[in-house]
Chains A and B, each alone.
Chain A
């Protein structure tokens, strides 16, 4: 929030800063956190890796859980669905959020901006489960939208909106428009006004200034936001389960199904690891666009 970011990190002062402290103190400070991470994050991951290589009936090691994913079209389809939904959600959310963030940053008077932004992300603070349920209320067979459509005589029959991919996408977009508005707004505000002045001095109109100066300078921030959207979206279980239903499964639903209905931990572990591998590949592929800098 303030001072610490503008100077470099004040690091090695060991000997001089701490004349009386031995080497034990620093380790005593960092060991609890490291231990916690090793014990409850790294070790579970190793356990999951092991589990994914065992057979469900406990008969030794096998690669069957992984090969199932590639041979069973239903599993494969879940990954395809996940990637499609995530891609659609990411693109729509960025396209909706960018102009909105721009309006908040450029058109709303300075003194109202904080309030406008707070309002724009207020529903963020409803519980995640409740937020998806609220969309179910809106999209249900006899919900608000269908009542409005049939009531106004536009449609005679209610539309099937809930339990579709469309519902999942709407639920996700709602969440990520708020998230991306926050990040893009912060990006736009960080832009020094002198860039815009310089562009104006050199004779560029508002449109050209935006296209050639503002947009390229905010692009790295957009990429970071888009990546965040990708990661959070592809790993989410709640929204597709509540809004999409079971007509079409996404990866997290498939994973949960293995645990819930069948108690098949090895297969669930293998599917989780595959899902994580896809996220890692996406990260590596986009790493050069994601130069996350400390300002």
Chain B
């Protein structure tokens, strides 16, 4: 019985892993295709399409745009999220539960609807489509996340350290910068990292709110119009590689923190 469960488990796990990895393997494999179609038979390996990606200024500038939007919108989201989390965790504010609910509300709404709302609003207000508009949208989706993560990590023992600093005469801004921020660093980092990955991968809001200068997912979307193309495979594989490096980096940071 036990042995049977083990064998069935093995088969099942291998099948699911196969399902999960099938598209990724096909993507990366045919990014190395030497001919013009990313379909069998495999004719590579060749770096031809990677060169084509790096030579395409639309793609490279979209990549830079994406990084910029991700970094700046995440910095804004984590700053707003941290300040409000600190305010709500330390002070009794009237209607606190309701206001906290308001800040986390965007988590329950799909990106499409958030993007639609901003599009209608900006359209009425005469604000043109731009990377800034998309960045504003990214702060809207990431602020609740940063707030929730940081707020949930503000416990008693941080309060006591802060109180000790105040008793020793530190002004409020010093408590914030020298005590609270360093103590909360892991949560702040986690919020920032998650925001980065969400913004980096976000499509619909950027698609609705940008026009000529755009982000990488939208530029990849534009590539899809040309059908199956090894160039799309190559840029997709590059994005995947960047994400993997980030995740491994994050994982190592977490592992190193664990013993403390």
A residues at B contact (CB < 8 Å)? 1, 3-5, 7, 9-14, 17-21, 25-30, 32-34, 36-38, 40-45, 47-48, 51, 96, 99-100, 103-104, 107, 118-120, 122-123, 125-131, 133-138, 140, 142-144, 147, 174, 177-178, 231-232, 234-238, 242, 252, 255-256, 259, 265, 268-269, 272, 275-276, 279, 283, 294
Task: List 30 interface pairs A-B (beta carbons < 8 Å), by A numbering.
Answer: A4-B155, A13-B92, A14-B91, A18-B172, A19-B166, A21-B172, A25-B91, A26-B91, A29-B83, A33-B143, A34-B102, A36-B139, A41-B117, A43-B121, A47-B120, A104-B13, A118-B251, A128-B201, A130-B27, A133-B220, A134-B24, A137-B23, A137-B228, A138-B26, A143-B39, A174-B19, A177-B20, A259-B116, A265-B119, A294-B152
Q: How far is the CB of A268 from chain B (nearest CB, A)?
A: 6
Q: Is B27 a contact partner of A125 (Cβ separation < 8 A)?
A: no
Q: Is B84 a contact partner of A34 (Cβ separation < 8 A)?
A: yes
**Chain B: interface secondary structure?**
helix
Q: How far is the CB of B5 from chain A (nearest CB, A)?
A: 8
Interface centre among A13, A36, A138, A242 (most CB of B within 10 A): A36
Bound state CA distance, A30 and B80, in angstroms? Answer: 8
Q: Is B91 a contact partner of A126 (Cβ separation < 8 A)?
A: no
- With an 8 Å Cβ cutoff, the count of chain B residues facing the other chain is 94
Q: Select from chain A the residue with minimum beta-carbon distance to B86.
A: A29
Bound state CA distance, A243 and B9, in angstroms? Answer: 31
Residue-wise interface mask of B (106-122) relative to A, using a CB-CB cutoff of 8 A (1 in contact, 0 not) = 10111111101111110
Chain A residues closer than 8 Å to B83, beta-carbon distance:
29-30, 32-33
Bound state CA distance, A33 and B140, in angstroms? Answer: 10
Q: Select from chain A the residue with minimum beta-carbon distance to B1.
A: A206
B204 located at the interface, meaning its Cβ lies under 8 Å from any Cβ of chain A in the complex: yes
Q: Is B116 a contact partner of A48 (Cβ separation < 8 A)?
A: yes
B40 located at the interface, meaning its Cβ lies under 8 Å from any Cβ of chain A in the complex: yes
Chain A residues closer than 8 Å to B120, beta-carbon distance:
44, 47-48, 51, 265, 269
Which of B43-51, B52-60, B240-248 touches A? B240-248
Q: How far is the CB of A244 from chain B (nearest CB, A)?
A: 14
Interface positions, chain B 97-150, Cβ under 8 Å from A, are 99, 102-103, 105-106, 108-114, 116-121, 123-124, 136-137, 139-140, 143, 147
Q: Is B201 a contact partner of A48 (Cβ separation < 8 A)?
A: no
Chain B residues closer than 8 Å to A51, beta-carbon distance:
120, 124
Q: Is B23 a contact partner of A40 (Cβ separation < 8 A)?
A: no
Q: Is B118 a contact partner of A231 (Cβ separation < 8 A)?
A: no
